[in-house]
Amino acid sequence: MANHITANGGRQRSKVWTLFPGRDVVYCEDPFRNILEISSATFDQTWANR
């Protein structure tokens, strides 16, 4: 997803962070300067560590 955003005029604002094994998050900025948090799982799944 981050690659798609950067290829279309946005930018990646952080490195890809691994919160737990299999749970990654990255922050990006779309072309309109909105900050996006992109996660590999839902909020509940991430913090329930499932």
pLDDT digits (tens, 9 = 90+) for 28-37: 999 999 999 9
46 band by pLDDT with thresholds 50, 70 and 90: confident
- What is the percent of the chain where pLDDT is above 90? 70
Contacts of 5 (CB under 8 A, 6+ apart): 11, 12, 28, 29, 30, 36
Angle at 13 between CA 50 and CA 46, to 5 degrees: 5
pLDDT at res. 8: 96
Residue 26 pairs in a beta bridge with: 38
pTM above 0.85, yes or no: no
